[in-house]
Structure 1
């Protein structure tokens, strides 16, 4: 599918999402940067599919024969929570909908149990941008209080020398475009990483995709709603250079169709912040009354107010 795109990837690190140890995160589950640099950056190609959860389970089993499970996924997977920043006119949202060849978005992201997020919890401040068909992501890890001071308070924070240029870019973006927190997304991820000839390949399965448009503190005891149907899973193939033939054959054999779906756009549209686009996942079968007794990220009982969390 993307075999024709053979431009070499530019990478300052590997693209996997790696939780930090409990000691590093003060007991909370965050993510370790694989690169030694204080700034983590990479380029890659990304392809998305929207599949039934039952078929996703079959795909995971088949892909698991060729790829290794992310060592942090476990049986339950892990949670990913992101707060997205945009202009009052939703500039980044519309850039995505209109399919601009160059577009970007700013977000603050946490990996793990969101109920444990505190001021000192490690999070990532990220700029993710698309240049033609290539996705580029740059990010730095900061304590949550510093991420808020930078993106909400619009003030520079203490940093390592290698982080300065990126943090100045974030601050300039926030000030120049008057960015503010607009929407939040969260989901459970199971991930697989390539080995041998497939090093650099990553396949992720995201399900129970939720969001909200208020109470946008990562650790807020707030209610979310499903923004992708409960029976659907977003499968994403991420490759530094090209997708291996065995994987393109697998997707063709299963007749998987490439989709343009953005979790951020889904959240914006689901909460009425913008009209639903032609790329919106149909919401007629959203199940807003999940009755699970346990929180999937932590395994502990969920607060009553978070029945859709």
Structure 2
């Protein structure tokens, strides 16, 4: 079974294309590729982030509080309604990231997120995580706000499996078609010559990692995919005096009515 609970520190860096291959060569001495990356250069991760109608969660997040939290629906590749995906709750307290997730069938996840009625427990679910997510859904009135996809190349430490370093490229976002099965299209968030590198570790990073960062002059950043898109798309447009009418096209009943018939209390798919 895939790991469903994570406690670790995550540090982010923007890596230029001209040093990307050099960094990869250093990593290959101490780390090994993710099993999928041994056959494919990248794998695609697709997410839908949920927030309140007034963007409460992301607005709080970009203010850099000591505690923040978010909820997202994650798939690997483009899932069908019958495929299993992950519903994740992610918290960050004083720099320590706690991620908890449970598997759900995609149509099952949509039903749950729309009705807030917990699905009937099945063996592939994490019951404790479901209870935590249920509390989260009762605490906030959430709707799907943004779709974010990217292509990832991941490394694991050979001697320390808790150490993980990932590279995300072709980060794309959209604020329409907020469903995982509708494809991974979207607008580019970063230039093609920049990679987002994340170092994930339960404790301190090894000395060789620090030396590598120093050698290639790679500096830590507070880059957030959702936060960057929000500031670029919403905050910037508002500050420029542009009227942003995003809420109507994101509103959840419209997304469901376009394709499905409702029944009470469960959505019939």
TM-score class, shorter-chain normalisation, is 0.7 to 0.9
1:176 to 139, 155, 160: 139
1:213 to 175, 186, 189: 175
Per the alignment, do residues 160 and 208 of structure 1 end up closer, same or farther by CA in structure 2, a change over 3 Å counting?
same
Three-state SS of the structure 1 residue aligned to 2:10 is strand
Per the alignment, do residues 95 and 66 of structure 1 end up closer, same or farther by CA in structure 2, a change over 3 Å counting?
same
Per the alignment, do residues 219 and 269 of structure 1 end up closer, same or farther by CA in structure 2, a change over 3 Å counting?
farther
More helix by share: 2
Aligned to 1:102: 67
More strand by share: 2
TM-score normalised to the size of structure 2? 0.82
Matches of 1:172 and 1:275 in 2, distance apart?
33
Three-state SS of the structure 1 residue aligned to 2:214 is helix
Matches of 1:128 and 1:79 in 2, distance apart?
20
Aligned to 1:121: 83
Tell me the CA shift for residue 165 of structure 1. 3.3
Q: Is the 8 A contact 1:173 1:179 kept in 2?
A: no
Root mean square deviation, CA, Å:
1.8
Structure 2 residue 135 is matched with structure 1 residue 166: no
**What 5-or-longer segments of structure 1 have no aligned partner?**
1-31, 35-39, 277-309
Q: Is the 8 A contact 2:147 2:178 kept in 1?
A: yes
Matches of 1:214 and 1:261 in 2, distance apart?
23
Three-state SS of the structure 2 residue aligned to 1:119 is coil
Matches of 1:222 and 1:72 in 2, distance apart?
19
Tell me the CA shift for residue 69 of structure 1. 0.6
Aligned to 2:156: 193
Higher relative contact order (CA 8 A, sep 6+): 2
Q: Deviation digits for residues 6-41 of structure 1, max 9, x if unmatched?
A: xxxxxxxxxxxxxxxxxxxxxxxxxx514xxxxx11
Aligned to 2:243: none
Structure 2 residue 27 is matched with structure 1 residue 81: no
Aligned residues: 235
Aligned to 2:11: 47
**What 5-or-longer segments of structure 2 have no aligned partner?**
238-269
Tell me the CA shift for residue 158 of structure 1. 1.9
TM-score normalised to the size of structure 1? 0.72
Q: Is the 8 A contact 1:183 1:268 kept in 2?
A: no
Matches of 2:217 and 2:129 in 1, distance apart?
41
Q: Is the 8 A contact 2:162 2:202 kept in 1?
A: yes
Aligned to 1:301: none
Matches of 2:86 and 2:174 in 1, distance apart?
19
Tell me the CA shift for residue 70 of structure 1. 0.7
Per the alignment, do residues 126 and 221 of structure 1 end up closer, same or farther by CA in structure 2, a change over 3 Å counting?
closer
Three-state SS of the structure 1 residue aligned to 2:221 is coil
Tell me the CA shift for residue 57 of structure 1. 2.3
Structure 2 residue 204 is matched with structure 1 residue 204: no
Aligned to 1:67: 31
Tell me the CA shift for residue 221 of structure 1. 4.4
Q: Is the 8 A contact 1:192 1:202 kept in 2?
A: yes
Q: Deviation digits for residues 167-196 of structure 1, max 9, x if unmatched?
A: 232233223311110001111100000122
Aligned to 1:20: none
Aligned to 1:235: 197
Matches of 1:149 and 1:129 in 2, distance apart?
24
Per the alignment, do residues 275 and 235 of structure 1 end up closer, same or farther by CA in structure 2, a change over 3 Å counting?
same
